[in-house]
Structure formats: C-alpha cells, structure tokens
Amino acid sequence: MTDPRHAPADGPPPIAPGTPPILQLQGICKYFPGVIANQDVSLDVAPGEIHALLGENGAGKSTLMNVVTGIYQPDGGEIILDGYGQSFAAPQDAIRAGIGMVHQHFKLVPAFTVAENIHLGWRETPFRASAKTLESRTRALSERFGFSVRPDAVVADLSAGEQQRVEILRVLARQARLLILDEPTAVLTPAETRDLFRALRAFRARGNAVILISHKLDEVIDISDRISILRAGRHVGTWRTADCTAAGLATIMVGREIVRRDLRARAPGAAAIARDPGAAAPVLSLRGASCRDARGIETLRDVTLDVHGGEILGIAGVAGNGQRELTQVLTGMMPLSAGTVLLDGAPVPLADPAAFARAGIGHIPEDRLRSGLAPSLDITDNMALREYARPPIGRHGLYDRAAAARLAGTIVAAAEVRVPDLATPIRNLSGGNQQRLVARREIRIASRVLVAAYPSRGLDIGAIATVLRYLTDLRDQGVAVVLVSEDLEELLNVADRIGVLFHGRLMATIDAATADMETIGLLMGGRSAPNGPTSGGGHA
C-alpha cells in the first residue's frame, strides 16, 4: 500500500509498518429469522486505503456494514477498532468512534434545508442557532472538506448527487476516519461520480480509510486499493486491486462466468419490429408532448416519438433531463400540458396509471422504494400492487390474501430471490432483491409495453444480465420496451433505437446499429450535429 507509483497528492499515504488496521472484523456472524446474512466474516481495513466490498445481491454487504456501525448487533465475532475490541450499541457510538456511513437509501429529512440536515442530531450543533449560523457553519464545512453544497436549499429539491454530497458532508463533519459508502454511485451521473472519487482520494490522502460497496466493477478497479468479496454471507477472500480484472471478480462473485452477448440480435422465431409501412399503428406514441412541474417550468418539451411492438427504444441522457417525466407520461402517471399520448393510434383522454396498467403497460419506476413499493408492508401486499383488482386476487370487490400470497410466491420464484417468508416487510430485503421483485411484477403486466427506468440500478452483474434478458425476451414476444439508462454501453448493447434527452427535449432518435458513443455523448450535451460547431445549440 506504499506504492510509489501513485501521485503523492491523492495516492495512499505511506504507512509505517506495524500500524494497526483502523478496522478489523473477526468472525462476524449475523442471522435473521431464516436467513444467514453474515457467517464468519473476517477482514481488515488499513488506514489510507479504499477497500471495496463486492458481492451479489443479498450477499450480506449492507448487513455487515450495519453491524460495523452499530445498527445491528453481531450474533458472533468481534469488531476491533485501532487494535481495541469495540461494541457499538447504537449508530451514535460508531460515529463517536469515527465511523460514518452513507446508506444505500438516503436518510435525510426531505423537508429540512441542507444546513439543518447537517446539524441534525449533532453534539457540536450550537444550542441556540439561527438559520444563518447553521448555514455559515455548513459553508465552512463544505469548503474544508471539498464538497460543495447549497446550505439553504431544501433537500427535497436536490438531485441524487447533491443529496449524497450532503450525506457525506454530514458524516465527515462528525470527524469520520472511516467512511462507509453503500452503493454511492448507483444514482450518480458520470460527472458526479468523478467528483465523488476525487474527494474520496483526497480523504484517503489524509490517512483515512473508505469502505466502498458497489456493483460497478470498472469503478471499483479504478478507485480501490484492495477488494473483498462476500458470497452468501461468507467472506470469499481479499485481493489487491492491482491483481484483479473485472471478469475475474465477476466470476468469483457469481460463481460462474458472465459473458456479454450482443443482445440486439434476435433469436430465430422472434417477433419482428412492427415498424414496416403497412403494419399496425405504433403501440405507444407521443405527439408534441410537453409537461410542467409544480413551479411551472417545462420539464418535457414538445416530444414526439413512436414505440413499436418488438423493439427496444433506449433513452439516453444525463439524469434530470426529462427522463422521469417521460416515463411518467408514458405510464399515465403525469398529465400533459400540451400534446397527446396515443395508444394503438388512439388518443388517451386521461392520465390514469391504473388504466395504462390494464392496457398492458408495465412500469419499473426510477425510485423503487419511494414510488414502486410500500416498504413497511409485507412482500405479499407489495406484489399484489398491480393485480389486486383482477381475478384471482380481486373478485367481487374482495382482496383474496391467499391468492395474493400465491402470486407473490410466483413472482419471488421467477425473480430467483430467496425469502424466508412472504410476510417479511419488503424493506428487510436487500436493495437488489427489491429491484428484482419490482421488475418481475411489472413484466407480468407488460403485455404491450414495458417502460423501464434504470432497471439495472443496484443489481449485481449477474442480475443485470438476467434483467436485460428479461427485456429482450419481452421484445422477442412482440412487446415494446422503453429502456431509460445512463449506461451507454448497456443501451448500445440492447436497444434498437436510442433517443437522447437534453433539457426535456428529444434531441434525436438514432439507429443503435450505426450509433457510436461519441455521437450520443455530444447529443447528451445538447449539441445536435456531431461534427458541427460547439456552439450549435439544442436549447429552447
């Protein structure tokens, strides 16, 4: 870890031999009813290293970190901090000992400002502080740690990347020496990820340590010093990153090799794209569609597009350029301020999500926990969300719990998720397993169209391959698929056409067979002609 090749500014600092690890785990076990979340996990994290923690969905990564930060008590094993045995009764104890964690699902208070969130539940918050004081303190912190935030902004109005900076700043302000990040880049744009990594390297250079959980292997190889892998709750091993390749890691994680196939190619006998002249009208179309947010700002501007049966339409763009609005318009969740939605060529009079679902339009929403699931309810109730009004669950105005449980069992089996019992609240499932269940639930009702927003977010690479196969299977059955993604490689790999959104406008729709990353990248930045002058605008 004293590799001289690293630049001294952000490389790991030289560590004197014999320095104890910041954190050492010895034989940690954690069990839930019917689930072995962690079994005999031993690993150590040295000062001045970024330690990546990998594993499939449900491998026990989040649970292990929750044990380290005192949210859960271990059922066995020891946590050793700076050479001394420690046991944290509550997260506050861990924070006091210098361990800070940013969770997979953010835990900020949406209605509070950034400054208020930073100071919430903090010993050093002045007893009587005006909003002004808090904001200036926040500004000072943000300069000290190199995380730019807007102290007076309300958290609910922030992008995912901004919210995450607030979370990290909150932790750093409490003098964390060990920063734990649970899938921090899942919701970040590439630019935000670069900023985050720059800040993490600076943090490491000061002799601190980072544990990073991620499913994005390229990123992990880019930033980490060592990599540990969990499989089914057990520690498989720890390697120096320099010795690892993405393919090798994937094989160890999943236990088999993952090959990226060209998913655009059709299997023999698959439905053809229903786009030829003379074919039926497109399944779903937008004509001049615009919509406005609560403040009256146009978030979708004059979008016209057609989705045909048997094709995958990819939607690219930097997050926050109208993707959410587009998916909501296509699934009946948001009314248009101008333009029309056409279903099978006929205008749809009313934005009614239930009617869209009945018409065979499935929707994997961007933020599954907030809008696709009711976290406190059990798996059964959550899996019935789309079919509760249809037989066999909903007959004569009743809700047949037994039938709902059978449906949930079917979905759980199809999604290949192991659950101890269907009465488990869905928030107890791992993030990736929640995502798989939502995907399977929506595929069931998507007999005509599936609108999938970031369906691979939070999934391990094996599961991503599976979900993409779900999509291509649907396509081969003649279903139209709209795939919103920030991963251009993924889009180029599965989509037939790619539309690019910029500032709510559909810049262009291009054929994926001839498209290249560069063209799409330019369009994403608002430039319409790939070879034209840089000032060529797509602005309104």
Calpha distance 274→23 (Å, rounded): 58
- Does 433 participate in binding Mg ion (rule CB under 5 A)? no
**536 contacts which partner out of ligand ATP, other proteins, Mg ion, none, CB within 5 to 8 A by kind?**
none
Q: Per residue, what are the HEC states of 216-252? A: CHHHHHHHCCEEEEEECCEEEEEEEHHHCCHHHHHHH
DSSP 263-312: TTSPPTTPPPPTTSTTSPPPSEEEEEEEEE-TTS-EEEEEEEEEE-TT-E
Q: How far is the CB of 8 from other proteins (least distance, A)?
A: 21
Residue selected from 233, 322, 431, 478 as contacting Mg ion according to rule CB under 5 A: 431
Distance CA 209, CA 24 (A): 12
SS3 state at 201: helix
The listed partner (ligand ATP, other proteins, Mg ion, none) that binds 96, CB under 5 to 8 Å by sort, is: other proteins
Nearer to other proteins, 74 or 310 (CB): 74
Between 290 and 430, name the residue whose CB sits nearer to ligand ATP. Answer: 430
Candidate segments 356-364, 396-404, 428-436, 495-503, binder of Mg ion by CB under 5 A: 428-436
* Contact of residue 377 among Mg ion, other proteins, ligand ATP, none (CB under 5-8 Å per partner type): other proteins
The two structure tokens encoding residue 17: 């031999």
Among the residue ranges 90-98, 468-476, 490-498, 516-524, the one whose residues contact other proteins (CB under 8 A): 90-98
Specify the residue, 205 or 389, whose C-beta has the smaller distance to other proteins: 389
The binder of other proteins chosen from 371, 391, 416, 529 (CB under 8 A):
371
Binder of other proteins out of 272, 274, 377, 414 (CB under 8 A):
377
Secondary structure in 3-state letters for 338-387: EEEEEECCEECCCCCHHHHHHCCEEEECCCHHHHHCCCCCEHHHHHCCCC
Please give the residues from 188 up to 207 whose contact with Mg ion meets the rule CB under 5 A: none
Residue 181 CB partners (closer than 8 Å, separation 6+): 101, 102, 168, 200, 210, 211, 212, 213
Extract the tokens encoding 262.
Answer: 């060209």
Query: Which residues in this chain contact ligand ATP in the complex, by CB under 6 A?
Result: 32, 35, 37, 55, 57-63, 104, 428-433
The Cα-based distances of 255 to 56, 467, 468 in angstroms read 10, 18, 19
**Contact between 530 and 519 (Cβ < 8 Å):** yes
388 binds, among ligand ATP, Mg ion, other proteins, none (CB under 5 to 8 A by kind): other proteins
Find which of ligand ATP, other proteins, Mg ion, none residue 502 binds, CB within 5 to 8 Å per kind: none
Contact of residue 37 among ligand ATP, Mg ion, other proteins, none (CB under 5-8 Å per partner type)? ligand ATP
Q: Which is nearer to Mg ion, 455 or 458 (CB)?
A: 458
Phi and psi at residue 219, to the nearest 5°: -65, -45
Quick check: 58 binds Mg ion (CB under 5 A)?
no
Residues 286, 474: Cα–Cα separation, whole Å: 22
Name which of 417, 405, 24, 451 is nearest 209 in CA terms: 24
Chain centroid to CA 315: how far? 17
8 A C-beta contact, residue 60 and residue 30: yes
Asked if residue 435 binds Mg ion (CB under 5 A), the reply is no
Residue type, 43: L
Rounded to whole angstroms, the Cα distance separating 78 from 76 reads: 7
Q: Does 62 bind Mg ion (CB under 5 A)?
A: yes
Applying CB under 8 A, which part among 85-93, 137-145, 238-246, 461-469 lies near other proteins? 85-93
211 binds other proteins (CB under 8 A): no
Contact map string, positions 43 to 82, toward other proteins, x by CB under 8 A: ----------------------------x-x-------xx
Q: How far apart, in Å, are the Cα atoms of 278 and each of 162, 285, 295?
A: 48, 17, 43
The tokens describing 122, both together, are 């903090």
- Which one of residues 355, 360, 447, 530 is an interface residue with other proteins (CB under 8 A)? 355
Size of the site for Mg ion (CB under 5 A): 4
Of 6 and 427, CB closest to ligand ATP: 427
Choose among ligand ATP, Mg ion, other proteins, none what residue 55 binds, the Cβ cut-off being 5 to 8 Å by kind: ligand ATP
Q: How far is the CB of 410 from ligand ATP (least distance, A)?
A: 19
Least distance CB 421 / ligand ATP (angstroms)? 10
Residue 181 Cβ vs Mg ion, minimum distance, rounded to whole Å: 11
Q: Binders of other proteins: how many residues, by CB under 8 A?
A: 47
- Tokens for 136? 């200036």
* Residues within the interface to other proteins (CB under 8 A): 71, 73, 81-82, 84-87, 89-90, 93, 96-99, 175, 177, 332-333, 352-357, 363, 365, 370-377, 381, 384-386, 388-389, 394, 397-399, 401, 425
**Where along the sequence are the contacts to Mg ion (CB under 5 A)?**
62, 104, 430-431
